[in-house]
Structure 1
Amino acid sequence: AMLWRKLPMPVIAAVHGVCFGGGLQIASGADIRVVAPDARMAVMEMKWGLIPDMGGYALWRGMVREDMLRELTYTNREFSGAEALTLGFATFVDENPHTRAMAIAREIADRNPEAMREAKALFNEYVDMDEDAILMAESVRQARVIRQPNQIEAVMAGMQKRAGVFAD
């Protein structure tokens, strides 16, 4: 599940059907999660005498309110995709999660890939940093992309109202 976070590009999960236990951890590793409203979800491990693993705790920290996560872990209560949005397990709820995920992916693909990688890397780092370290990391990562050909292409494409043509 942690591998999704370590990839340099954004990962989008389209969730439908049953998403219990390890499946929930795998989906939680995605940067963006689009979930069908009738999806069935649960932190299921305690039912089998286990604790959530596969990075669940690391992924859920800051994503799901701790008291709710405790209740879901201790009870294995099943929740719907619609409820997943309010809990923090879903980014969006959509009747057709695959179609919505693909639309988001197309939009992301129309951005500077270097800036996308730097933004994702900063997202992965900043949770353990203080404010000064975050500001420094922003500056360092921005310096890697600003005034580079892909950044200039992003500006030109925006001004000319066309899709960007990026080198990657």
Structure 2
Amino acid sequence: MTLFDELEFSNLQLDQHGSLAVLTINRPKALNALNSDTLTEIGQVVDLIAENADISALIVTGAGEKAFVAGADISELSELNNVYSGRELSLSGQEVMQSLNNLPLPTIACIQGFALGGGLELALACDIRIASPRARMGLPEASLGVIPGFGGTQRLPRLIGAGRALDMLITGRQVDAEEALQMGLVNYVSDEPLSKAREVAEQMIRNAPISLALIKEAVRRGAHISVEEGMEIEADLFGMAVATSDFAEGTRAFLDKRRPEFKGE
């Protein structure tokens, strides 16, 4: 029995391998496009994982080899016709992406094929991105007369710099896996991206879960403030880490020349 055995979703597939969860956007006929139902289901899964201590890492991927997520569902998008409806869709998508970004455990986007528009925004909300050599990434919203609405204009510049982000945003061009690696948009390129994602996740899981959560918090909170203010946050969180049982176990295991057994305490 795993966390997901009794759950049923129309647009997602959920698997659990020990403490590793794999969330697959499962709309291959629509190139895994994000419609409102899919966004809702992703939010529900993220909330569930956030509340469950049995999950130590999450991989997000798309069904098939053609697309991670090819973007938002254009048929739904085309029905928007006023400021209010557009703003509400943007806020709802941002909420889902932010909840994914705020998970205390490591998250990895496994990108095969297209990651466009909302698909790239979903990948940007993860901590690490691993791409197939065939992957293509972009934010083409300007070609539809709109702008990214699920965090793309904010996360992309913070990740790769304003100049490179504006190039992608204003031209709407797609970048391949190698260019994405060079600009820091993805962390790894692999012929077997899901296998690589599992390998990276297993390496993460070996570390103390409280440390991972505190590292994410330090980076997230420090991203938009001065270095001096960030150092204060780091010191506070370092103090919290030192007070944990996992710290005592980690240092003791190092001195004993054995692998630590962390309990998240």
TM-score interval for Structure 1 and Structure 2 normalised by the shorter chain: over 0.9
- Which residue of structure 2 aligns with residue 105 of structure 1? 201
Do structure 1's residue 87 and structure 2's residue 183 form an aligned pair?
A: yes
- Which residue of structure 2 aligns with residue 143 of structure 1? 239
SS in 1 for 2:123: helix
Query: Per-residue deviation at 1:67?
Result: 2.0
Q: 1:60 aligns with which of 156, 160, 165?
A: 156
Do structure 1's residue 163 and structure 2's residue 254 form an aligned pair?
A: no
Query: Per-residue deviation at 1:62?
Result: 2.4
Give me the whole-angstrom Cα distance separating, in 2, the residues matched to 1:68 and 1:103. 30
Give me the whole-angstrom Cα distance separating, in 1, the residues matched to 2:254 and 2:155. 34
Give me the whole-angstrom Cα distance separating, in 1, the residues matched to 2:133 and 2:258. 34
SS in 2 for 1:12: strand
Sequence identity percentage? 25
SS in 1 for 2:253: helix
CA contact (8 A) 1:46 1:73 kept: yes
SS in 2 for 1:61: helix
- Which residue of structure 2 aligns with residue 39 of structure 1? 135
- Distance 1:71-1:124 versus aligned 2 partners, 3 A rule: same
TM-score, normalised by the number of residues in structure 2: 0.60
CA contact (8 A) 1:38 1:80 kept: yes
Q: 2:229 aligns with which of 120, 128, 133?
A: 133
Higher relative contact order (Cα pairs below 8 Å, separated by 6+ residues): 1
Matched residues, number: 168
CA contact (8 A) 1:5 1:124 kept: no
From the two aligned structures, give the one with the greater strand fraction: 2
Q: Which runs of 4+ in 1 moved over 6 A?
A: none
Give me the whole-angstrom Cα distance separating, in 2, the residues matched to 1:123 and 1:141. 11
CA contact (8 A) 1:85 1:92 kept: yes
Residues 7-59 of structure 1 deviation map (CA, whole Å, 9 limit, x = unaligned): 11111111111111100000011111111121011111112111012011221
Which amino acid counterpart does residue 30 of structure 1 have in structure 2?
Answer: C
TM-score, normalised by the number of residues in structure 1: 0.92
**Where does the alignment leave 5 or more consecutive residues of structure 1 unmatched?**
none
CA contact (8 A) 1:40 1:79 kept: yes
Do structure 1's residue 17 and structure 2's residue 129 form an aligned pair?
A: no
**Where does the alignment leave 5 or more consecutive residues of structure 2 unmatched?**
1-96
Which amino acid counterpart does residue 206 of structure 2 have in structure 1?
Answer: D
SS in 2 for 1:99: helix
- Which residue of structure 2 aligns with residue 115 of structure 1? 211
Give me the whole-angstrom Cα distance separating, in 2, the residues matched to 1:57 and 1:122. 22
CA contact (8 A) 1:65 1:88 kept: no
SS in 2 for 1:98: helix
